[in-house]
A and B are shown apart, each in its own frame.
Chain A
Amino acid sequence: MADIVFFHRVSQRYGEGPEILREVSFRLGDGEMMFLTGPSGAGKSTLLKLIGLLARPQAGQIAVLGQNIGQIRRSRIPAFRRQIGMIFQNPSLLADRTVFENVALPLVIRGHSGADIGRRVRGALDAVGLLSKEKALPPTLSGGEQQRVGIARAVVAKPKLLLADEPTGNLDPQMAREVMQLFMRFNEVGVSVLVATHALGLIQRLPYRIEHLEHGHIDAIARGDAEAAPAAAQENSLGHG
C-alpha cells in the first residue's frame, strides 16, 4: 500500500519554546483511516498543520501524496492544498455567504462551471444531511450543522486526503458519533482520513488504527478493536518515533 502521509523523525518547536514534536515517525496508507489521540497540547494540531503545509517542518522528513513537502515552493502550496480536505474544530465558515456558497468555494477556485458546482455542492450537502439548509447563513446554524458544512466543503472537491482536527470538539455525543460515521463513509469510498481527537471514548471501539501522541512523540498505539482493524493499518504503524 502506497503511503499518503509519511513522517520520518519529524521535530518541531515554536520559537524558543519546548519541542512540540520530537522525532515523530508514522505512515498513513492510501485509503486508510487513522485516529491520532492525545491530550491537549500533545502536538496533534501541529502534526496536522505540517501535513497541510500550514507550517514547515524544522527537522525530519515529511512526504504527503508522494511529495516531499520540504521541497514544495511557496507558489505550489495552493495546488498542494487543493488535494487535501481540512476540517477544524472551528469550521471557519464565511459568515456573510450562504451554506451553498461556502461549500462551493473549493469548486469555484478550481474553475468549475456553475451547473457542475450546483450538482456537486448539493451532492455534498445531501451527504452531510444539510440539503435543506443550502440558503441559510452559517450564524443561523447550530454548532453541529456548521461543522457538517465544514465537512461538506472539505469533501466537495473529492480530496485524496481528509484531515480533521478535533472535529467533534464542539458537538454533543450523538452529533459527534454521526460526524465520525461520516468520516467512515468517506473512507469507505477510498478517501484517506486522518482524524486528531482527544475523545478516545468515541473512537476506541471503531475498527481503525489509533496512534497516541503525548509529550511530542508517538509513544504508544492504542487499538480499540485490534481484531477488526484492517491489516494494512497494522502494517503501517511504526510505533515509537
Chain B
Amino acid sequence: MVTAKSPQSAAQVATQPSWLSRTLQDHSRALNASLTQLMRKPIATLLTAFVIGLTLALPAGLDTVLRNLDVVGDSLQGSMRASLFLKDSVDADRAQELSRSLGKRPGVANARYISREQALEEFKQHSGFGEALDLLKDNPLPAVIVVTPDHHAPQAQTSALLKELSNLPEVEQAQLDEKWLQRLYAILDLVQRAVLVIAAALALAVVIVIANTIRLDIERHREEIEVMKLIGAPDGFIRRPFLYTGLGYGLVGALLACAMVAGAGMLLAPPAHELAGLYDAEPALRGLAPEAVLAVFGAALVLGWLGAFWTVSRHLHQIEPD
C-alpha cells in the first residue's frame, strides 16, 4: 500500500550552501564520477593513456636529445683550438713574446708556443715516421702557437677572435676547427624547429585521441545525459565529469611520457657516455629538465581539457530527451 505523504512535508526546509561550498561540492562530485568511470574500465583507460603518453614522449624525448646535443656542443666549444702556423721569418723570441701576449688577450684561455724543433719531435713520436724524418736535411715543420679560447665566451665572439688572430702579420696560415661546430649548431637549430612542428602536430593528435575517447564515453552515457537534461541539469553540470576525464587522461599520459623518456635515457646512457668520451665532451647524459617535465604535464592537462571540451560541446547539443 502506498503511504502517500506530501512532498513538501517530506522535504525539510534546509539552508542552501554558499556559492563556494556548492562549487567545491559540484567539482568534487564530478571528479568522483570521472574517477569512477576511469577505474571502471582500467585496461581501456591505460591503453588510451599509453597512446597519449607515447605521443607526448616523442617531442619530450627529442627535446631531451637536443638539450644533450646542445651541452655536447658547448663542451666541444671548450675543446676548440686554433693552430697559428708562423712564418719562417719569425724568430723564436718574437714567437714566444707573441704567444705570451695572445695568452693575456680577453677571450683567450691559453696560448702555447710550439717551436719547430718541438713540433718535429712530437711528429716523430706520434706519426711513426721517425726514421724517415731523420733522413731530411731541414725541418719542414713551422713553429705553431696553439690558442685555446675561453670556453665561457659566446661562440660568435670566439669565432671573431680566431679570425682576427689568423690575420696577424706573423701568421702564415691559421687552422680553425670551428666549421664543423658551426654546422652542428646549424643542424641543432634546424632540428629544434622541426621538433616544434612535430610537437604541434602531435599536440593535435593528443586532442583528437582524447576527443574521440570522450565521444565514446558520451555515447555510453547518452541515456544518463538525456535523463539529466530532462530534470534540468545545465550543460556545465553534464560537461564537468567529462572535462575531468580529459584531464585524467592527460595526467596519466604525462606520467607515462616522463617515464618513457626516463627509461629511454637509462637505456641510452652507456653508449652516449662512450660517444661523448670519444669527442672529449661532457660525458653525463641529462634526462628531462624540471621545466620540461612541467611543460609535459602542463601541455598534457591543457590538451586533455581542450579535447574533452571540444567534443562535449559538439555532442551535448545533439543529445536531447524525447
A residues touching B (Cβ–Cβ < 8 Å)?
49, 52, 54, 75, 78-84, 86, 92-94, 105-106, 108-109, 111-116, 119-120, 122-124, 126-129, 148, 153, 155-158, 178-179, 181-182, 185-186, 188-191
Contacts and interface: CB of A to CB of B under 8 A. Distances in A.
Given A86-B230, A105-B231, A178-B1, A155 B22 contact: no
17 contacts: A52-B230, A78-B235, A81-B230, A81-B232, A84-B232, A92-B227, A92-B321, A111-B25, A111-B26, A119-B12, A119-B14, A120-B12, A129-B2, A129-B3, A158-B8, A178-B2, A185-B4
B232 A79 contact: yes
A56 to B, nearest CB: 11
Contacts of B226: 92
Contact of A81 (B8, B21, B231): B231
Contacts of A81: 229-232
B14 A185 contact: no
Contacts, number: 126
B7 A191 contact: yes
Interface in B230-285: 230-235, 237
A113 B25 contact: yes
Contacts of B231: 81-82, 86, 105-106, 109, 153
Contacts of B10: 120, 122-124, 126-127
Which of B6, B16, B17 has the largest number of chain A CB atoms within 10 A? B6
Nearest to A74: B317
A94 B233 contact: no
B232 A82 contact: yes
Interface in B178-197: none
B232 A120 contact: no
B228 A105 contact: yes
B211 to A, nearest CB: 23
Given A80-B232, A111-B26, A190 B8 contact: yes
A94 B225 CA distance: 10
A190 B6 CA distance: 10
B24 to A, nearest CB: 10
Given A54-B322, A105-B227, A120-B14, A126 B233 contact: no
A186 B14 contact: no
B105 interface: no
Interface string B294-307: 00000000000000
B251 to A, nearest CB: 25
B9 interface: yes
Contacts of A119: 11-12, 14
A182 B9 CA distance: 14
A83 B25 CA distance: 22
Interface string B204-227: 000000000000000000011011
A106 B16 CA distance: 14
B11 A182 contact: no
Contacts of A82: 231-232
Contacts of A115: 14
A119 B15 CA distance: 12
Contacts of B9: 123, 189
B232 A128 contact: no
A87 to B, nearest CB: 10
List the 6 shortest-distance A-B pairs measured between CB atoms, nearest first: A123-B10, A82-B232, A81-B232, A116-B14, A111-B22, A189-B6
B35 to A, nearest CB: 15
B217 to A, nearest CB: 14
B16 A92 contact: no
B97 interface: no
Contact of A128 (B2, B11, B228): B2
B121 interface: no
B29 interface: yes
Which of A124, A127, A179, A191 has the largest number of chain B CB atoms within 10 A? A127
Given A78-B234, A80-B232, A129-B3, 19 more contacts: A78-B232, A82-B232, A92-B230, A94-B223, A94-B224, A94-B227, A105-B227, A105-B233, A111-B22, A113-B21, A116-B14, A120-B11, A122-B10, A123-B5, A128-B4, A181-B4, A182-B4, A185-B6, A189-B7
Contact of B17 (A75, A109, A111, A188): A111
B2 A113 contact: no
A109 B237 contact: yes
A158 B321 contact: no
A113 B8 contact: no
Contacts of B11: 119-120, 123-124, 156-158
Nearest to B317: A74
Nearest to A144: B2
